[in-house]
Amino acid sequence: MELTQISDLTPSARGEVMSRGSELAAIESDVKQIIDNVRADGDAALREFSREFDDVEMNAIEVTGAATKAVETIHSDVQAAIASTIDRIETFHRHQLRDDWQADFDGRTLGRQFRPIERAGAYVPGGSAAYPSTAMMTVVPARVAGVNTIIAVTPPADPINKVTLAALSLAGVDRIFAAGGAQGIAALAYGTESIPAVDTIVGPGNRWVAAAKAAVQGDVSIDMIAGPSEVLILADETADPEFVASDLIAQAEHDPHASAAAVTPDLELAKRIGDAVRDQLPKRTRGGVAESAFSNESSGIFVAESMDQAVEFTNEYAVEHLGIMTADNESIVEQIKHAGSIFVGEYSPVAAGDYSTGPNHVLPTAQTARVSSGLSVDTFMRSRTVQHLDKSALKDINETITTLAELEGLEAHAESIQHRID
Protein backbone atom coordinates (compact mmCIF):
# COMPACT_ATOMS: atom_id res chain seq x y z
CA MET A 1 0.00 0.00 0.00
CA GLU A 2 1.18 3.49 -0.80
CA LEU A 3 2.32 5.68 2.12
CA THR A 4 1.32 9.33 1.80
CA GLN A 5 1.94 12.34 4.01
CA ILE A 6 -1.33 14.26 4.25
CA SER A 7 0.53 17.56 4.28
CA ASP A 8 2.10 16.66 0.91
CA LEU A 9 -1.27 16.24 -0.82
CA THR A 10 -2.09 18.98 -3.28
CA PRO A 11 -5.72 20.17 -3.33
CA SER A 12 -6.18 18.21 -6.57
CA ALA A 13 -4.65 15.02 -5.14
CA ARG A 14 -6.69 15.35 -1.96
CA GLY A 15 -9.81 15.74 -4.07
CA GLU A 16 -9.00 12.49 -5.89
CA VAL A 17 -8.66 10.70 -2.57
CA MET A 18 -12.04 11.94 -1.44
CA SER A 19 -14.10 11.71 -4.66
CA ARG A 20 -14.97 8.05 -4.58
CA GLY A 21 -18.29 8.42 -6.38
CA SER A 22 -16.97 10.18 -9.46
CA GLU A 23 -16.64 6.91 -11.40
CA LEU A 24 -20.43 6.63 -11.59
CA ALA A 25 -20.61 9.47 -14.10
CA ALA A 26 -18.61 7.46 -16.63
CA ILE A 27 -21.30 4.79 -16.88
CA GLU A 28 -24.44 6.93 -16.61
CA SER A 29 -25.35 6.71 -20.30
CA ASP A 30 -24.86 2.93 -20.40
CA VAL A 31 -26.96 2.50 -17.28
CA LYS A 32 -29.72 4.66 -18.73
CA GLN A 33 -29.78 2.48 -21.86
CA ILE A 34 -30.14 -0.66 -19.76
CA ILE A 35 -32.99 0.91 -17.79
CA ASP A 36 -34.75 2.05 -20.97
CA ASN A 37 -34.46 -1.45 -22.43
CA VAL A 38 -36.00 -3.03 -19.33
CA ARG A 39 -38.84 -0.51 -19.33
CA ALA A 40 -39.54 -1.23 -22.98
CA ASP A 41 -39.01 -4.99 -23.18
CA GLY A 42 -39.52 -6.28 -19.64
CA ASP A 43 -38.68 -9.94 -19.09
CA ALA A 44 -37.18 -10.28 -22.58
CA ALA A 45 -34.61 -7.60 -21.71
CA LEU A 46 -33.78 -9.35 -18.44
CA ARG A 47 -33.14 -12.62 -20.27
CA GLU A 48 -30.96 -10.89 -22.86
CA PHE A 49 -28.91 -9.12 -20.18
CA SER A 50 -28.57 -12.39 -18.29
CA ARG A 51 -26.97 -13.95 -21.36
CA GLU A 52 -24.77 -10.90 -22.00
CA PHE A 53 -23.58 -10.06 -18.47
CA ASP A 54 -23.98 -13.27 -16.47
CA ASP A 55 -23.50 -15.90 -19.19
CA VAL A 56 -26.68 -17.59 -17.96
CA GLU A 57 -29.58 -18.80 -20.08
CA MET A 58 -32.45 -17.92 -17.78
CA ASN A 59 -35.73 -19.79 -17.93
CA ALA A 60 -37.75 -19.01 -14.83
CA ILE A 61 -37.19 -15.46 -13.58
CA GLU A 62 -38.91 -16.11 -10.26
CA VAL A 63 -36.91 -18.37 -7.94
CA THR A 64 -39.02 -18.21 -4.77
CA GLY A 65 -39.65 -21.94 -4.88
CA ALA A 66 -35.95 -22.68 -5.15
CA ALA A 67 -35.37 -20.64 -1.98
CA THR A 68 -37.85 -22.74 -0.03
CA LYS A 69 -36.06 -25.91 -1.17
CA ALA A 70 -32.67 -24.38 -0.36
CA VAL A 71 -33.63 -24.06 3.31
CA GLU A 72 -34.08 -27.84 3.43
CA THR A 73 -30.71 -28.57 1.83
CA ILE A 74 -28.29 -26.36 3.74
CA HIS A 75 -26.39 -27.80 6.69
CA SER A 76 -27.91 -27.44 10.13
CA ASP A 77 -24.93 -25.39 11.30
CA VAL A 78 -25.55 -22.92 8.47
CA GLN A 79 -29.23 -22.77 9.36
CA ALA A 80 -28.30 -22.02 12.96
CA ALA A 81 -25.87 -19.25 11.93
CA ILE A 82 -28.55 -17.66 9.74
CA ALA A 83 -31.18 -17.95 12.48
CA SER A 84 -28.96 -16.39 15.16
CA THR A 85 -27.96 -13.56 12.83
CA ILE A 86 -31.58 -12.85 11.92
CA ASP A 87 -32.38 -12.71 15.63
CA ARG A 88 -29.60 -10.18 16.33
CA ILE A 89 -30.58 -7.99 13.37
CA GLU A 90 -34.25 -8.11 14.35
CA THR A 91 -33.57 -7.32 18.01
CA PHE A 92 -31.43 -4.29 17.13
CA HIS A 93 -33.89 -2.96 14.54
CA ARG A 94 -36.94 -3.33 16.80
CA HIS A 95 -35.37 -0.65 18.97
CA GLN A 96 -35.79 1.73 16.01
CA LEU A 97 -39.57 1.51 15.84
CA ARG A 98 -41.32 4.81 16.57
CA ASP A 99 -44.57 5.39 18.43
CA ASP A 100 -47.32 7.63 17.11
CA TRP A 101 -47.83 10.73 19.21
CA GLN A 102 -50.52 13.34 19.71
CA ALA A 103 -50.65 16.48 21.84
CA ASP A 104 -52.93 19.45 22.50
CA PHE A 105 -51.72 22.90 21.46
CA ASP A 106 -54.34 25.35 22.76
CA GLY A 107 -57.26 23.56 21.12
CA ARG A 108 -55.19 22.31 18.17
CA THR A 109 -54.83 18.55 18.52
CA LEU A 110 -51.74 17.72 16.51
CA GLY A 111 -49.76 14.57 16.06
CA ARG A 112 -47.55 12.40 13.95
CA GLN A 113 -48.15 8.86 12.73
CA PHE A 114 -45.72 6.32 11.30
CA ARG A 115 -46.76 3.78 8.69
CA PRO A 116 -44.76 1.32 6.59
CA ILE A 117 -44.53 1.57 2.84
CA GLU A 118 -46.46 -1.12 0.98
CA ARG A 119 -43.85 -2.67 -1.34
CA ALA A 120 -40.09 -2.84 -0.84
CA GLY A 121 -37.44 -4.21 -3.15
CA ALA A 122 -34.13 -5.57 -1.86
CA TYR A 123 -31.09 -5.91 -4.09
CA VAL A 124 -28.83 -8.77 -2.95
CA PRO A 125 -25.47 -8.85 -4.76
CA GLY A 126 -24.04 -12.03 -6.26
CA GLY A 127 -21.52 -12.62 -8.98
CA SER A 128 -17.99 -13.29 -7.75
CA ALA A 129 -19.16 -13.72 -4.15
CA ALA A 130 -22.35 -14.69 -2.33
CA TYR A 131 -23.99 -12.37 0.21
CA PRO A 132 -26.53 -14.13 2.42
CA SER A 133 -25.64 -11.47 5.00
CA THR A 134 -27.08 -8.77 2.74
CA ALA A 135 -30.20 -10.86 2.24
CA MET A 136 -30.81 -10.66 5.96
CA MET A 137 -29.72 -7.03 6.37
CA THR A 138 -32.19 -5.82 3.74
CA VAL A 139 -35.20 -8.03 4.41
CA VAL A 140 -35.32 -8.14 8.22
CA PRO A 141 -35.66 -4.35 8.78
CA ALA A 142 -38.44 -4.25 6.18
CA ARG A 143 -40.26 -7.03 7.99
CA VAL A 144 -39.77 -5.31 11.36
CA ALA A 145 -41.18 -2.12 9.85
CA GLY A 146 -44.31 -4.00 8.74
CA VAL A 147 -43.86 -3.72 4.96
CA ASN A 148 -46.70 -5.59 3.27
CA THR A 149 -44.74 -7.05 0.34
CA ILE A 150 -40.98 -7.61 0.29
CA ILE A 151 -39.39 -8.54 -3.04
CA ALA A 152 -35.76 -9.45 -3.60
CA VAL A 153 -33.65 -9.63 -6.74
CA THR A 154 -30.25 -11.26 -7.01
CA PRO A 155 -28.04 -11.88 -10.06
CA PRO A 156 -28.86 -15.00 -12.08
CA ALA A 157 -26.48 -17.93 -11.87
CA ASP A 158 -26.52 -21.63 -12.59
CA PRO A 159 -27.26 -22.24 -9.81
CA ILE A 160 -27.94 -19.21 -7.61
CA ASN A 161 -26.13 -19.61 -4.30
CA LYS A 162 -28.40 -21.73 -2.15
CA VAL A 163 -27.30 -20.11 1.13
CA THR A 164 -28.32 -16.69 -0.20
CA LEU A 165 -31.67 -18.12 -1.26
CA ALA A 166 -32.15 -19.81 2.10
CA ALA A 167 -31.26 -16.62 3.97
CA LEU A 168 -33.83 -14.68 1.97
CA SER A 169 -36.49 -17.26 2.72
CA LEU A 170 -35.71 -17.47 6.44
CA ALA A 171 -35.55 -13.67 6.72
CA GLY A 172 -39.17 -13.47 5.55
CA VAL A 173 -39.03 -12.31 1.94
CA ASP A 174 -42.23 -12.77 -0.06
CA ARG A 175 -40.86 -13.28 -3.59
CA ILE A 176 -37.40 -13.67 -5.13
CA PHE A 177 -36.31 -13.04 -8.72
CA ALA A 178 -33.14 -13.66 -10.71
CA ALA A 179 -32.15 -10.22 -11.96
CA GLY A 180 -28.85 -8.50 -11.30
CA GLY A 181 -27.03 -5.27 -12.00
CA ALA A 182 -28.67 -2.14 -13.37
CA GLN A 183 -31.33 -4.30 -15.03
CA GLY A 184 -32.37 -5.71 -11.65
CA ILE A 185 -32.78 -2.20 -10.26
CA ALA A 186 -34.80 -1.18 -13.33
CA ALA A 187 -37.08 -4.20 -12.91
CA LEU A 188 -37.79 -3.28 -9.28
CA ALA A 189 -38.41 0.37 -10.15
CA TYR A 190 -40.71 -0.09 -13.15
CA GLY A 191 -41.82 -3.72 -13.09
CA THR A 192 -41.81 -6.38 -15.79
CA GLU A 193 -44.22 -9.15 -16.70
CA SER A 194 -42.75 -11.22 -13.86
CA ILE A 195 -41.44 -8.70 -11.35
CA PRO A 196 -43.83 -6.28 -9.65
CA ALA A 197 -42.77 -2.66 -9.26
CA VAL A 198 -41.96 -1.54 -5.73
CA ASP A 199 -42.10 1.73 -3.81
CA THR A 200 -38.56 1.76 -2.46
CA ILE A 201 -35.32 -0.01 -3.39
CA VAL A 202 -32.62 -0.87 -0.87
CA GLY A 203 -29.35 -2.73 -0.84
CA PRO A 204 -25.71 -2.36 -1.87
CA GLY A 205 -24.06 -3.29 -5.12
CA ASN A 206 -21.31 -2.50 -7.56
CA ARG A 207 -21.01 0.80 -9.39
CA TRP A 208 -23.62 -0.32 -11.96
CA VAL A 209 -26.15 -0.94 -9.23
CA ALA A 210 -25.29 2.35 -7.52
CA ALA A 211 -25.62 4.29 -10.78
CA ALA A 212 -28.95 2.62 -11.54
CA LYS A 213 -30.33 3.48 -8.10
CA ALA A 214 -29.31 7.09 -8.65
CA ALA A 215 -31.04 7.05 -12.05
CA VAL A 216 -34.40 5.71 -10.82
CA GLN A 217 -34.49 7.86 -7.69
CA GLY A 218 -37.56 10.06 -7.93
CA ASP A 219 -39.67 7.42 -9.62
CA VAL A 220 -39.08 5.32 -6.50
CA SER A 221 -37.33 6.07 -3.26
CA ILE A 222 -33.95 4.53 -2.51
CA ASP A 223 -32.10 3.99 0.73
CA MET A 224 -28.83 5.60 -0.36
CA ILE A 225 -26.06 5.32 -2.90
CA ALA A 226 -24.39 2.20 -1.53
CA GLY A 227 -21.59 1.48 -3.94
CA PRO A 228 -18.32 -0.43 -3.58
CA SER A 229 -17.21 -1.10 -0.01
CA GLU A 230 -15.10 1.41 1.95
CA VAL A 231 -13.08 1.28 5.13
CA LEU A 232 -10.92 3.81 6.95
CA ILE A 233 -9.00 2.89 10.10
CA LEU A 234 -8.02 5.78 12.37
CA ALA A 235 -5.17 4.56 14.56
CA ASP A 236 -2.39 5.76 16.84
CA GLU A 237 0.79 4.14 18.15
CA THR A 238 -1.22 1.80 20.44
CA ALA A 239 -2.89 0.02 17.52
CA ASP A 240 -1.91 -3.47 16.41
CA PRO A 241 -0.77 -3.16 12.77
CA GLU A 242 -1.81 -6.76 12.10
CA PHE A 243 -5.39 -5.95 13.13
CA VAL A 244 -5.43 -2.81 11.00
CA ALA A 245 -4.09 -4.69 7.99
CA SER A 246 -6.64 -7.47 8.35
CA ASP A 247 -9.52 -4.97 8.42
CA LEU A 248 -8.19 -3.23 5.32
CA ILE A 249 -7.86 -6.49 3.38
CA ALA A 250 -11.28 -7.70 4.55
CA GLN A 251 -13.05 -4.78 2.89
CA ALA A 252 -10.73 -4.56 -0.11
CA GLU A 253 -11.53 -8.15 -1.07
CA HIS A 254 -15.12 -7.17 -1.87
CA ASP A 255 -14.46 -5.38 -5.11
CA PRO A 256 -11.56 -4.03 -7.22
CA HIS A 257 -13.29 -0.65 -6.91
CA ALA A 258 -13.40 -0.79 -3.09
CA SER A 259 -11.55 1.79 -0.99
CA ALA A 260 -9.35 0.75 1.92
CA ALA A 261 -7.34 3.30 3.86
CA ALA A 262 -5.70 3.96 7.20
CA VAL A 263 -4.80 7.30 8.77
CA THR A 264 -2.42 7.76 11.66
CA PRO A 265 -0.15 10.42 13.15
CA ASP A 266 2.50 7.73 13.79
CA LEU A 267 4.89 7.15 10.88
CA GLU A 268 6.32 3.97 12.38
CA LEU A 269 2.85 2.48 12.73
CA ALA A 270 2.06 3.44 9.13
CA LYS A 271 5.12 1.52 7.93
CA ARG A 272 4.22 -1.51 10.05
CA ILE A 273 0.66 -1.50 8.66
CA GLY A 274 2.08 -1.52 5.14
CA ASP A 275 4.36 -4.42 6.03
CA ALA A 276 1.48 -6.34 7.57
CA VAL A 277 -0.67 -5.85 4.47
CA ARG A 278 2.11 -7.13 2.22
CA ASP A 279 2.57 -10.12 4.51
CA GLN A 280 -1.12 -11.06 4.78
CA LEU A 281 -2.22 -10.37 1.23
CA PRO A 282 -0.69 -13.46 -0.47
CA LYS A 283 -2.38 -15.66 2.13
CA ARG A 284 -5.91 -14.55 1.17
CA THR A 285 -7.88 -16.36 -1.54
CA ARG A 286 -9.22 -13.05 -2.85
CA GLY A 287 -5.89 -11.31 -2.43
CA GLY A 288 -5.83 -10.35 -6.10
CA VAL A 289 -9.11 -8.46 -5.75
CA ALA A 290 -7.85 -6.70 -2.63
CA GLU A 291 -4.58 -5.77 -4.31
CA SER A 292 -6.50 -4.12 -7.14
CA ALA A 293 -8.54 -2.16 -4.61
CA PHE A 294 -5.35 -0.97 -2.89
CA SER A 295 -4.27 0.67 -6.14
CA ASN A 296 -7.28 3.03 -6.14
CA GLU A 297 -6.63 6.72 -5.52
CA SER A 298 -8.76 6.63 -2.36
CA SER A 299 -6.84 3.70 -0.86
CA GLY A 300 -3.57 3.92 1.01
CA ILE A 301 -1.95 4.71 4.35
CA PHE A 302 -2.11 8.41 5.16
CA VAL A 303 0.24 9.93 7.71
CA ALA A 304 -0.98 12.95 9.65
CA GLU A 305 1.11 15.54 11.51
CA SER A 306 -1.16 15.22 14.54
CA MET A 307 -4.24 13.41 15.78
CA ASP A 308 -6.27 16.57 15.10
CA GLN A 309 -5.22 16.44 11.45
CA ALA A 310 -6.03 12.72 11.34
CA VAL A 311 -9.52 13.41 12.67
CA GLU A 312 -10.00 16.24 10.18
CA PHE A 313 -8.98 13.90 7.35
CA THR A 314 -11.38 11.25 8.67
CA ASN A 315 -14.32 13.64 8.73
CA GLU A 316 -13.62 14.79 5.19
CA TYR A 317 -13.27 11.19 4.01
CA ALA A 318 -16.79 10.46 5.43
CA VAL A 319 -16.32 6.74 5.10
CA GLU A 320 -18.77 3.85 5.07
CA HIS A 321 -16.93 1.81 7.74
CA LEU A 322 -14.76 3.63 10.25
CA GLY A 323 -12.50 1.68 12.62
CA ILE A 324 -10.98 3.50 15.58
CA MET A 325 -7.98 2.01 17.38
CA THR A 326 -6.44 4.60 19.69
CA ALA A 327 -5.50 5.13 23.32
CA ASP A 328 -8.59 7.34 23.79
CA ASN A 329 -11.28 5.80 21.63
CA GLU A 330 -14.30 7.39 23.28
CA SER A 331 -12.90 10.91 22.95
CA ILE A 332 -12.12 10.29 19.28
CA VAL A 333 -15.63 8.96 18.62
CA GLU A 334 -17.10 12.22 19.91
CA GLN A 335 -15.03 14.14 17.35
CA ILE A 336 -16.30 12.13 14.38
CA LYS A 337 -18.91 13.98 12.32
CA HIS A 338 -19.37 11.74 9.30
CA ALA A 339 -19.31 7.94 9.12
CA GLY A 340 -21.74 5.22 8.15
CA SER A 341 -20.86 2.95 11.07
CA ILE A 342 -18.10 3.26 13.68
CA PHE A 343 -16.21 0.27 15.05
CA VAL A 344 -14.53 1.14 18.34
CA GLY A 345 -11.50 -0.69 19.65
CA GLU A 346 -9.32 -3.52 18.46
CA TYR A 347 -11.93 -6.19 19.16
CA SER A 348 -14.63 -4.52 17.05
CA PRO A 349 -13.56 -5.54 13.55
CA VAL A 350 -15.61 -4.28 10.62
CA ALA A 351 -16.25 -7.87 9.54
CA ALA A 352 -18.23 -8.48 12.75
CA GLY A 353 -20.64 -5.75 11.71
CA ASP A 354 -20.74 -7.10 8.18
CA TYR A 355 -22.34 -10.23 9.54
CA SER A 356 -23.84 -10.58 12.93
CA THR A 357 -23.53 -7.83 15.54
CA GLY A 358 -27.02 -6.51 14.79
CA PRO A 359 -26.64 -3.02 13.21
CA ASN A 360 -27.15 -2.86 9.48
CA HIS A 361 -24.27 -3.28 7.07
CA VAL A 362 -25.97 -1.40 4.21
CA LEU A 363 -24.28 1.97 4.64
CA PRO A 364 -23.66 5.18 2.69
CA THR A 365 -20.55 5.33 0.50
CA ALA A 366 -18.71 7.91 -1.61
CA GLN A 367 -18.81 10.60 1.11
CA THR A 368 -22.62 10.42 1.30
CA ALA A 369 -22.28 9.66 5.02
CA ARG A 370 -22.19 13.46 5.25
CA VAL A 371 -25.91 13.54 4.42
CA SER A 372 -27.22 9.95 4.60
CA SER A 373 -27.69 7.27 7.24
CA GLY A 374 -27.41 3.52 7.08
CA LEU A 375 -30.33 1.24 6.26
CA SER A 376 -32.80 1.11 9.14
CA VAL A 377 -36.45 0.64 9.96
CA ASP A 378 -36.90 4.34 9.15
CA THR A 379 -36.02 3.56 5.52
CA PHE A 380 -39.24 1.60 5.20
CA MET A 381 -41.47 4.04 7.06
CA ARG A 382 -43.26 7.21 6.14
CA SER A 383 -44.69 9.72 8.53
CA ARG A 384 -47.80 11.84 8.33
CA THR A 385 -49.10 14.60 10.50
CA VAL A 386 -52.67 14.68 11.80
CA GLN A 387 -54.39 18.00 12.65
CA HIS A 388 -57.69 18.56 14.44
CA LEU A 389 -58.83 22.10 15.31
CA ASP A 390 -61.98 23.19 17.07
CA LYS A 391 -63.68 26.48 16.17
CA SER A 392 -62.11 28.37 19.03
CA ALA A 393 -58.60 27.28 18.04
CA LEU A 394 -59.23 28.29 14.45
CA LYS A 395 -60.45 31.72 15.55
CA ASP A 396 -57.32 32.17 17.67
CA ILE A 397 -55.03 31.88 14.63
CA ASN A 398 -57.42 33.40 12.08
CA GLU A 399 -55.72 36.78 11.94
CA THR A 400 -52.29 35.24 11.43
CA ILE A 401 -53.50 32.96 8.62
CA THR A 402 -55.42 35.77 6.91
CA THR A 403 -52.47 38.16 7.06
CA LEU A 404 -50.07 35.63 5.52
CA ALA A 405 -52.58 34.51 2.87
CA GLU A 406 -53.20 38.08 1.73
CA LEU A 407 -49.45 38.77 1.63
CA GLU A 408 -49.07 35.81 -0.73
CA GLY A 409 -52.03 36.92 -2.86
CA LEU A 410 -54.02 33.76 -2.07
CA GLU A 411 -57.42 35.21 -1.24
CA ALA A 412 -59.23 31.88 -1.32
CA HIS A 413 -57.02 30.63 1.48
CA ALA A 414 -58.20 33.46 3.71
CA GLU A 415 -61.83 33.00 2.67
CA SER A 416 -61.71 29.29 3.56
CA ILE A 417 -61.03 30.41 7.13
CA GLN A 418 -63.61 33.22 7.20
CA HIS A 419 -66.41 30.94 6.02
CA ARG A 420 -65.91 28.89 9.16
CA ILE A 421 -65.68 31.61 11.81
CA ASP A 422 -68.07 34.33 10.57
- The residues carrying an active-site annotation are 320-321
Q: Name the nearest CA neighbour of 94 among 135, 146, 144, 147.
A: 144
CA 115, 121, 124 angle in degrees (round to 5)?
Answer: 135
What is the Cα 412 distance to its own chain's centre? 45
101 phi, psi to nearest 5 deg: -140, 155
233, amino acid identity: I
- Between CA 251 and CA 328 the distance in angstroms is 25
223 phi, psi to nearest 5 deg: -75, -50
DSSP assignment letter at 62: B
Per the CB < 8 A criterion, the answer to whether 269 and 239 are in contact is yes
Give me the torsion for CA of 82, 224, 199, 177, rounded to 10°: -40
105, amino acid identity: F
Taking every pair of C-alpha atoms in the chain, what is the biggest distance, in angstroms? Answer: 84
DSSP 74-131: S-HHHHHHHHHHHHHHHHHHHTT----EEEEETTEEEEEEEEE-SEEEEE---TTS--
The helix (run of H) or strand (run of E) holding residue 385 is strand 381-389
- Between CA 108 and CA 98 the distance in angstroms is 22
